[in-house]
Chain A
Amino acid sequence: MRCISADSKNRLYFYLGLLVIYAVLAIAPAFAQQDATDVDYRPFPKIGSRSAAWIAAQLHLLFGSFILGVPMFAVVIEFVGMRTKDKRYDKMAQEFIKLCMGAFSTTALLGGVLVFVLIWCYPQVMNRLTGIFGPTMIFYVILFFGETFTLYLYSYGWDRMQGAVSKMWHLFLGVLLNVFGTAIMFVSNAWLTYQTSPAIMGPDHKPIALHDEETGEFIGTLWQAVNNYTWMPVNIHRLIGNIAFGGAIVGAYSAFRFLVAKTKEDRAHYDWMGYTGNFIALCGLIPLPFAGYWLGREIYMFNNTMGINMMGSLFSWLFIIQAVMIGVLFIGANYYLWSGMTRIKGGEIYARYRPYMIAIIVLCVAIWMTPRTLIMSPKEMAAMGGTNHPLVGFFGLMTAKNTAVNIIILATFLSFLFYRRSGKAPTVGWRKIGNISIAAVLGLAVAAIIAIGLAGFKVESDFRVNVLTPVQVLIALAVMIAVTVTDLVMYRKAMRSNDINWGQMTDRSQYVLILLAITFTSLMGLMGYARSGLRENWHIFGVMPDTSPDAFTPLLGDAVNVIAVIMVIFFALVGFIFWIGLWGDKKKAERATVTAEVGVGDD
Chain B
Amino acid sequence: MSNTITKIASLVVMIVSFIAYVAKAPAFPIASENLLPWSTWFFISTIANIILWQRVMKLLAFALLVIWFYAFAASIVPETSTARVILDDIPRTEEAFVEAGEAIFNGKGKCNTCHTLDPSAPKGRCPDLSDIGVLAGTRQPGVSTKDYLIESTYEPHKFLVPGYGNIMPPVWKPPISLTELEIETVIAFLQFQGGEVDLTKFEPPVDIGSAITEVEVLPPLLLGDVERGKRVFVDGAKCIACHAVAGIEQPAGQTLDDGVEVVAAPDLTDIASLNSMRYIEESIVKPNALIVSGYGSVTVKTNGASIQGTLTFQDEEKITVRVKDAGGIETEQTLLLSELDPEPIEELTNLKDQGYFWIEVNTADTGTKVRGDLADEDAENVIISVDGETQTISKSNVQVQATIIDFDGNEIVGELVSENEDEVTLMVDGEEQVIDTFDIDEGPIYGRALGKRLSVTSPMPDNFPLLLSVADMSDLLAYLASLTGATEETVAEAGASAAEAEDAAE
A contacts, CB < 8 Å to B: 202-204, 206, 208-209, 213-214, 219, 237-238, 241, 256, 259-260, 288-289, 291-293, 295-297, 299-301, 304-305, 307-314, 317-326, 374-375, 378, 381, 386-387, 398, 401-402, 405, 460-466, 469, 511, 514-515, 518-519, 522-524, 526-528, 530-531, 536-538, 541-542, 545, 551-557, 559-561, 563-565, 567-568, 571
Do A259 and B55 have beta carbons less than 8 Å apart? yes
CA distance A208 to B229 in the complex (A): 17
Q: Which of A296, A555, A564 contacts B503 (CB 8 A)?
A: A296
Do A560 and B502 have beta carbons less than 8 Å apart? no
Stretch at the interface among B26-34, B398-406, B476-484: B476-484
Given A214-B215, A297-B501, A565-B22: A461 touches B79 (CB 8 Å cut-off): no
Do A545 and B498 have beta carbons less than 8 Å apart? no
Q: Which of A209, A522, A552 contacts B81 (CB 8 A)?
A: A552
Do A552 and B82 have beta carbons less than 8 Å apart? yes
Min Cβ gap A420→B in Å is 25
With both beta carbons as reference points, the residue of chain A lying nearest to B67 in the complex is identified as: A567
Do B504 and A295 have beta carbons less than 8 Å apart? yes
Q: Which of A203, A398, A524, A552 contacts B499 (CB 8 A)?
A: A398
Residues on the A chain within 8 Å of B83, using CB: 552-555
Min Cβ gap B376→A in Å is 33
Q: Which of A308, A319, A522 contacts B67 (CB 8 A)?
A: A522
Instruction: Compute the total of residue contacts between A and B using a CB distance below 8 Å.
Output: 251
Q: Which of A312, A321, A463 contacts B77 (CB 8 A)?
A: A321
Q: Which of B64, B118, B503 is the most central at the interface, judged by chain A CB atoms within 10 Å of its CB?
A: B503
Min Cβ gap A201→B in Å is 10
Min Cβ gap A69→B in Å is 14
Do B74 and A556 have beta carbons less than 8 Å apart? yes
Do B110 and A309 have beta carbons less than 8 Å apart? yes
1/0 contact string of B67-105 vs chain A (CB within 8 Å): 110110111111111111000000000000000000000
Do A213 and B498 have beta carbons less than 8 Å apart? no
Min Cβ gap B365→A in Å is 49
CA distance A537 to B82 in the complex (A): 8
Residues on the B chain within 8 Å of A288, using CB: 505
Residues on the A chain within 8 Å of B177, using CB: 537, 545
Do B503 and A292 have beta carbons less than 8 Å apart? yes
Q: Which of A307, A313, A556 contacts B498 (CB 8 A)?
A: A307
Do A469 and B499 have beta carbons less than 8 Å apart? yes
Q: Is B201 an interface residue (CB 8 A)?
A: no
Given A202-B222, A296-B503: A324 touches B73 (CB 8 Å cut-off): yes
Residues on the B chain within 8 Å of A299, using CB: 501, 504
Pairs A–B under 8 Å by Cβ, sample size 23: A206-B272, A208-B223, A259-B55, A296-B502, A296-B504, A305-B169, A313-B113, A321-B73, A322-B505, A401-B503, A461-B495, A463-B487, A465-B498, A511-B62, A531-B506, A538-B175, A542-B175, A552-B82, A552-B83, A560-B70, A564-B70, A568-B64, A568-B67
Q: Is B122 an interface residue (CB 8 A)?
A: yes
CA distance A313 to B70 in the complex (A): 21
Do B502 and A208 have beta carbons less than 8 Å apart? no
Do A310 and B501 have beta carbons less than 8 Å apart? yes
Residues on the B chain within 8 Å of A554, using CB: 81, 83
CA distance A198 to B70 in the complex (A): 33
Do B503 and A259 have beta carbons less than 8 Å apart? no
Residues on the B chain within 8 Å of A571, using CB: 63, 67
Q: Which of B67, B484, B499, B502 contacts A564 (CB 8 A)?
A: B67
Do A311 and B70 have beta carbons less than 8 Å apart? no
Min Cβ gap A566→B in Å is 10
Q: Is B395 an interface residue (CB 8 A)?
A: no
CA distance A594 to B62 in the complex (A): 37
Residues on the A chain within 8 Å of B484, using CB: 204
CA distance A256 to B502 in the complex (A): 34
Do B492 and A524 have beta carbons less than 8 Å apart? no
CA distance A172 to B122 in the complex (A): 59
Do A556 and B77 have beta carbons less than 8 Å apart? yes
CA distance A542 to B67 in the complex (A): 35
Q: Which of B71, B80, B174 contacts A560 (CB 8 A)?
A: B71
Min Cβ gap A75→B in Å is 24
Q: Which of A202, A319, A325, A514 contacts B504 (CB 8 A)?
A: A319
Q: Is B491 an interface residue (CB 8 A)?
A: yes
CA distance A578 to B71 in the complex (A): 26
Residues on the B chain within 8 Å of A542, using CB: 174-175
Given A256-B59, A460-B492: A307 touches B501 (CB 8 Å cut-off): yes
CA distance A323 to B503 in the complex (A): 7
Given A537-B82, A557-B75: A461 touches B499 (CB 8 Å cut-off): yes
With both beta carbons as reference points, the residue of chain B lying nearest to A535 in the complex is identified as: B175
With both beta carbons as reference points, the residue of chain A lying nearest to B479 in the complex is identified as: A203
Q: Is B305 an interface residue (CB 8 A)?
A: no
Q: Which of A531, A545, A568, A571 is the most central at the interface, judged by chain B CB atoms within 10 Å of its CB?
A: A568
9 other A-B residue contacts (CB within 8 Å) besides A213-B216, A295-B501, A465-B495:
A238-B506, A289-B505, A292-B502, A300-B497, A318-B74, A324-B73, A542-B175, A561-B23, A564-B22
Q: Is B1 an interface residue (CB 8 A)?
A: no
Residues on the A chain within 8 Å of B482, using CB: 203-204
Do B494 and A300 have beta carbons less than 8 Å apart? yes
In chain B between 450 and 506, which residues have their CB closer than 8 angstroms to a CB of chain A?
A: 478, 481-482, 484, 487, 491-506
Q: Is B226 an interface residue (CB 8 A)?
A: yes
Do A293 and B504 have beta carbons less than 8 Å apart? yes
Min Cβ gap B460→A in Å is 23
Do A561 and B24 have beta carbons less than 8 Å apart? yes
CA distance A465 to B169 in the complex (A): 27
CA distance A295 to B497 in the complex (A): 13
CA distance A527 to B174 in the complex (A): 25
Q: Is B326 an interface residue (CB 8 A)?
A: no
CA distance A559 to B80 in the complex (A): 12
With both beta carbons as reference points, the residue of chain A lying nearest to B108 in the complex is identified as: A552
Residues on the B chain within 8 Å of A387, using CB: 118, 120-122
Residues on the B chain within 8 Å of A317, using CB: 77-79
